[in-house]
Amino acid sequence: MGAAWTEKEVVHLLNRTGFYTSKTDIEACLSLGQAETVRRLVAGESLTGKTVSLQSITELTADGKEMKADSIGDQQTYWLYRILNTEAPLIEKMTLFWHGHFSTSFSKVNDIPLMLRQNELFRNYALGNFHELVLQIGKDPAMMIYLDVNSNRKGKPNENYAREVMELFTLGIGNYTEQDIKETARSLTGWSYDRKEGQIKFNKGQYDAANKTVLGETGAFNETTVVDVFFKQEALPQFIAKKLLKWFATDEPSQEWVDLVAGDVSKDRTIGEVLTKLFMSDAFYNPDIQGALIKTPIEYVAGILKAFNIPLSKGFTQSARKMGMELFLPPDVAGWRGGTTWLMTTNLLSRFQFAESIAKRLNNNLLTSKEYALDPLSKPEDYVRQYAQNAGVWNMGELSAKTLAKYANDTFVYAKQKNNGMKGLLQLIMISPEAQMK
Contact indicator for 72, 57 with CB cutoff of 8 Å: no
Q: Which residue, among 113, 76, 71, has the nearest Cα to 96 in the 3D structure? A: 76
What's the CA gap between 155 and 172, in Å, rounded? 27
Confidence at residue 329, expressed as pLDDT on a 0 to 100 scale: 99
Q: Which residue, among 331, 328, 312, 334, has the nearest Cα to 113 in the 3D structure? A: 328
pLDDT in tens, 197-235: 999 999 999 999 999 999 999 999 999 999 999 999 999
- How far is CA 339 from each of CA 47, 247, 294, 432, rounded to the nearest angstrom? 29, 10, 6, 17
**pLDDT above 90 for 347:** yes
Q: How confident is the model at residue 48 (pLDDT cuts 50, 70, 90)?
A: very high
Contact indicator for 333, 168 with CB cutoff of 8 Å: yes
In a domain, 178, yes or no: no
Higher pLDDT, 356 or 369: 356
Higher pLDDT, 382 or 133: 133
In a domain, 274, yes or no: no
Contact indicator for 306, 264 with CB cutoff of 8 Å: no
Confidence at residue 355, expressed as pLDDT on a 0 to 100 scale: 98
Domain region containing 304: 297-436
Confidence at residue 422, expressed as pLDDT on a 0 to 100 scale: 82
Beta bridge partners of 294: 437
Question: What's CA 150's distance to the chain center, in Å?
Answer: 29
Beta bridge partners of 201: 192
In a domain, 427, yes or no: yes
**Measured CA angle at 378 (ends 376, 384), to 5 deg:** 40
Q: Which residues of 152-181 are buried (b: 16+ CB within 10 A; e: fewer)?
A: bbbeebbbbbbbbbbbbbbbbeebbeeebb
Confidence at residue 370, expressed as pLDDT on a 0 to 100 scale: 63
In a domain, 45, yes or no: no
In a domain, 272, yes or no: no
Number of domains in the chain: 1
What's the CA gap between 155 and 268, in Å, rounded? 34
> HEC states along the chain?
CCCCCCHHHHHHHHHHHCCCCCHHHHHHHHHHCHHHHHHHHHHCCCCCCCCCCCCCHHHCEECCEECCCCCHHHHHHHHHHHHHHCCCHHHHHHHHHHHHHCCCCHHHHCCHHHHHHHHHHHHHCCCCEHHHHHHHHCCCHHHHHHCCHHHCECCECCCHHHHHHHHHHHCCCCCCCHHHHHHHHHHCCCEEEECCCCEEEECHHHCCCCCEEECCEEECCCCCHHHHHHCCCCHHHHHHHHHHHHHHCCCCCCHHHHHHHHCCCCCCCEHHHHHHHHHCCCHHHCHHHCCCCECCHHHHHHHHHHHHCCCCCCHHHHHHHHCCCCCCCCCCCCCCCCHHHHHCHHHHHHHHHHHHHHHHHCCHHHHCCHHHCCCCCCCHHHHHHHHHHHCCCCCCCHHHHHHHHHHHHHHHHHCCCHHHHHHHHHHHHHCCHHHHEC
Pairing relation of β-strands 212-214 and 191-194? Answer: unpaired
Q: For 337, phi and psi rounded to 5 degrees?
A: -75, -30
Q: Which residue, among 18, 215, 193, has the nearest Cα to 104 in the 3D structure? A: 193
Confidence at residue 419, expressed as pLDDT on a 0 to 100 scale: 72
What is the value of pTM for the model shown? Answer: 0.96
Q: How confident is the model at residue 410 (pLDDT cuts 50, 70, 90)?
A: confident
Contact indicator for 422, 367 with CB cutoff of 8 Å: yes
Q: How confident is the model at residue 254 (pLDDT cuts 50, 70, 90)?
A: very high
Kindly state the average pLDDT of the residues 280-293.
Answer: 98
**Measured CA angle at 20 (ends 2, 403), to 5 deg:** 90
In a domain, 419, yes or no: yes
What's the CA gap between 220 and 278, in Å, rounded? 38
Q: How confident is the model at residue 59 (pLDDT cuts 50, 70, 90)?
A: very high
What's the CA gap between 289 and 308, in Å, rounded? 27
Confidence at residue 417, expressed as pLDDT on a 0 to 100 scale: 60
Percent of the chain clearing pLDDT 90 (strictly above): 88
What's the CA gap between 361 and 319, in Å, rounded? 15
Mean pLDDT of the chain: 95
In a domain, 418, yes or no: yes
In a domain, 352, yes or no: yes
List of residues 6+ apart from 36 with CB closer than 8 A: none
Kindly state the average pLDDT of the residues 317-333.
Answer: 99
